[in-house]
Structure 1
Amino acid sequence: MIRDVSTSTIGRDEARRPLMEAYMFQRRVLLGCSLLMVLSLIIWIVAISTDHWIIISGGTGIFIPESRRFFMSSHSGLWRHCRNSIVPNALSNAQVVRNFSSMSYTSQTLINDAKRNLSHMEFIRNFAAEKLDASENFTEAARRHMFAHWARGEEEEFQTYRTAFHKLVISAELGQHELNATLAKPIEINPLDVKGIIERKTFGTALQKVKYNNTWSYYVIPEVAQLSIFSNWTDYPLVVRLLGTYIRDIGIPAYVLNDERVILILVPPKPPKGGGQTNFYSYIPYPRCKYIDMFPNSNTLRSEPGFDDELMVMWYPIADYIRTQASFACITLFVMSLGAVFSFYTFMNPRYMFKRLAGGIHLVAASTALVVLQVLFSSIDYTSTHLFYAYPDGAELTWGYGVFLAWFTFGVNILCGLMFLWYSGKKKGAKAPNDELAMADEPTIMGR
């Protein structure tokens, strides 16, 4: 039996054909957005995993006095930081003026081992047991006590003597003149000009001739630093090796000021390309990568040779920036994953509210990705202003591919969010391409 087809049904199908074509176009657009979201999610994972967000170049080398290294380049991401530097070491027989810190260990492991060995030595025990005389000055005995407590890791006792040293010596007129530098640009001194430095008395009494490793050499030791160490310290090799760390823990800067209180720094000749050796210095490449400590403490920061007490105070806002970046990077990852799931769910359930939900989630993911980028830019501005060790003057900043991948992710989330919202209008009755879609957008009455 052949049933006649209603002309009204045919007319309705013909009328809905443009609506069906528009609906199929919409589905193709949203399917493309959903696939693009999956691609964006993968790209975001790659972006936050890489350590090439920030790239800082030092060109032919920027000398960092605190670490005694030439900064060459660095690159970092949200979790890891890599720094390439070159360490200039004066040859043992070279006639150059050296900074006192060049005698010291720079590895925190070697420093800890040396302090452990030093603490068991007899002269340290004698220093700690030595009787102190009442005096308004920071005497030789007081200097011996302060060093002994530091070497033995007796933090409370060391801090007591350190406070007394700051009050009696550093706060005095001489100490303030030696430590309070002007804002003028530091003056670079050529360490190869030994004769000129001596004749001009460039460093004054800070220039001392010291026997180290059976060789007499000229070392620049700030006058305040000389007042903090006991008289015959050069007789003990481990003391010599720990002098730089000891002076830093007391809170004495490694620099020396001239009569106008401008910082004088010894700057070795720039390293040959790729390192190597000259007549006066050997240049050793020192690449290092480490994961960023999200919750640094003072002991962790002191392991960095470029940090003093002031810089440690300035570092804590950077730690806040780093934690914020990492937190929002993970939040973005979670929200994007949720958005991708809801994007594909809209094809199983065509109700308009799920498209709006997916679009809203994509926009939230774009917002959190933008937060990561904005916090990153703010941290760079802060670092360039306050942390010269991490971003030295004269260095050039470029953005790594991690930043561009993050911007791509942000753009994709914005685009997909707007597309899902644009195509989330209700399609009821005659506006729907078929009855099934019309029913899907009808109001739902929730019963018992």
Structure 2
Amino acid sequence: MKREVSTSTIGRDEARRPLMEAYMFQRRVLLGCSLLMVVSLMIWITAIATDHWIIISGGSGIFIPESRRFFMSSHSGLWRHCRNTIVPNALSNAQVVRNFSSMSYTSQTNINDARRNLSHMEFIRQFALESLEESNEFTESARRRMFAHWARGEEDDFQMFRSAFHKLIMSTEAGQRDYNATANKPISIDPLDVSGIIKRKTFGAALQRVKYNNTWSYYVIPEIAQQAIFSNWTDYPLVVRLLGTYIRDIGIPAFVLNDERVILILTPPLPPSRGGQTAFYSYIPNQRCKYIDMFPNSNTLRNEPGFDDELMDYIRTQASFACITLFVMSLGAVFSFYTFFNPRYMFKRLAGGIHLVAASTALVVLQVLFSSIDYTKDNLFYAYPDGAQLTYGYGVYLAWFTFTVNILCGVLFLWYSGKKKGAKAPTDEIAMADEPTIMGR
């Protein structure tokens, strides 16, 4: 039997045709947003996984006194940091003035191994058992005991002697003059000018002639550091190699001041453009990449001059919000696709709201990153040397893309989340979906 279609039904379908076309356009737009959110999620994962967010270039090389190296470049992300340097090593027969830290190990692994070997040596055991003299001065036996406790990793005993050294030596007026520098720009000293340095007495009593590796050379050892080490220290194995680390752990700066209390820095010549060596120095490229320890202890931070407690707060905040953004974006992608299975308006609004929250957390990551750069530039010379150039890596641009996509998709989902009831709906099914739901008992 043939069913007759009433003119009223035909008229209603014709009236709803523009609504259906608009609704299908809306679905295509939101489908595109949903697919774009998946792409954006993958891009965000790529962005937070890369270590190319911040790129710092040192040009032809910036000498860093703390590490005795030329800073060439560094790049870092939210989890990983890489640093490229060139290590200048004075040749054994070269007539140059050396800093005492150049005798020491620079690798933390070598330092730990050397301390472990040193702690089992007989002279360290004897030093640790020496009786202390009754004196108001920091005596020779106290120096031996302090070094022995440091070598054996006996932290409480070492800190006790360290506190005594600070009180008796470093806190005195003479001690303060040795390491309390003025804010004036450090003075660079040419280490090749050996005769001039000796004649002018540039470093005063800090310039010492030391036999190392069967060769006599001039080393700059701060006077206050000389008071922390026991006599004949060069005659004992491994002591020379660990002197720089030992002096640093006591808290003695590695620099020397002139009469006006301005820092004097022995600055080797810049490395040759093609690497290799000159008549006085060899230049060894060095690259170190490591994952950032999010919760370092005090000893770890002491070994990392490019980080401090406040910078670690910035880094932890970045990492936390990066993970939060990842979770929220994943949730937003799920709800975006769910709106195609349930056309009710509230799910579109929920998806749009989640996208805007994800945009907000991504923006937090970027803002904290920029704040950490400003803090590093102002307070951590080792990580951001004067004269270095900053550029942003592709990780930052991917993060901005993710932020923009979340903002765009959030606005579009909210824009197309209006209620479609009655005559405003393209179909009766969609009209029923947007009707109020009365929940009974």
Structure 2 length normalisation: TM-score?
0.98
Correspondence for 1:347 among 328, 340, 347: 340
- Residue 379 (structure 1) shift: 0.8
How does 1:138-217 map onto structure 2 within 5 Å? 138-217=138-217
- Residue 376 (structure 1) shift: 0.7
Q: CA RMSD for the aligned pairs?
A: 1.1
- Residue 4 (structure 1) shift: 2.8
**Counterpart residue type for residue 186 of structure 1:** P
Determine the C-alpha separation between the residues in 2 that align with 1:146 and 1:323.
Answer: 36
Correspondence for 1:436 among 394, 408, 429: 429
**Counterpart residue type for residue 225 of structure 2:** A
Correspondence for 1:394 among 387, 390, 393: 387
For residue 339 of structure 2, give the secondary structure of its aligned residue in structure 1: helix
For residue 283 of structure 1, give the secondary structure of its aligned residue in structure 2: strand
Q: State whether residues 428 and 442 of structure 1, in contact with CA within 8 Å, keep that contact through their aligned partners in structure 2.
A: yes
For residue 2 of structure 2, give the secondary structure of its aligned residue in structure 1: coil
1:99 aligns with 2:62: no
State the match for 1:410 in structure 2: 403
For residue 238 of structure 2, give the secondary structure of its aligned residue in structure 1: helix
Q: State whether residues 130 and 145 of structure 1, in contact with CA within 8 Å, keep that contact through their aligned partners in structure 2.
A: yes
CA deviation vs aligned residue, 1:344-395 (integer Å, no higher than 9, x gap): 1111110000000000010010011111111111111111111111111111
How does 1:41-440 map onto structure 2 within 5 Å? 41-304=41-304, 307=305, 315-440=308-433
CA deviation vs aligned residue, 1:122-171 (integer Å, no higher than 9, x gap): 22222222222211111112111111111122211111111111111111
Determine the C-alpha separation between the residues in 1 that align with 2:144 and 2:88.
Answer: 32
Determine the C-alpha separation between the residues in 2 that align with 1:237 and 1:95.
Answer: 25
- Residue 301 (structure 1) shift: 2.2
Distance 1:114 1:2, change over 3 A: closer
**Counterpart residue type for residue 26 of structure 1:** Q
For residue 125 of structure 1, give the secondary structure of its aligned residue in structure 2: helix
Determine the C-alpha separation between the residues in 2 that align with 1:166 and 1:293.
Answer: 30
CA deviation vs aligned residue, 1:292-335 (integer Å, no higher than 9, x gap): 1000112222333xx3xxx87xx111111111111111111111
Determine the C-alpha separation between the residues in 1 that align with 2:350 and 2:125.
Answer: 72
CA deviation vs aligned residue, 1:249-280 (integer Å, no higher than 9, x gap): 11100000000000000010011124211100
Aligned residues: 441
Determine the C-alpha separation between the residues in 1 that align with 2:357 and 2:274.
Answer: 47
Taking only the aligned residue pairs, the percentage that are identical comes to 84
Q: State whether residues 366 and 409 of structure 1, in contact with CA within 8 Å, keep that contact through their aligned partners in structure 2.
A: yes
Q: State whether residues 97 and 217 of structure 1, in contact with CA within 8 Å, keep that contact through their aligned partners in structure 2.
A: yes
State the match for 1:23 in structure 2: 23
CA deviation vs aligned residue, 1:200-252 (integer Å, no higher than 9, x gap): 11101100111100100000000000011111111113111111111011110
Determine the C-alpha separation between the residues in 2 that align with 1:381 and 1:438.
Answer: 54
- Residue 8 (structure 1) shift: 1.1
**Counterpart residue type for residue 375 of structure 1:** V
Q: State whether residues 74 and 82 of structure 1, in contact with CA within 8 Å, keep that contact through their aligned partners in structure 2.
A: yes
Determine the C-alpha separation between the residues in 1 that align with 2:218 and 2:237.
Answer: 17
CA deviation vs aligned residue, 1:47-105 (integer Å, no higher than 9, x gap): 01111000000000111111011110000111111110010000000000000000111
Determine the C-alpha separation between the residues in 1 that align with 2:117 and 2:434.
Answer: 79
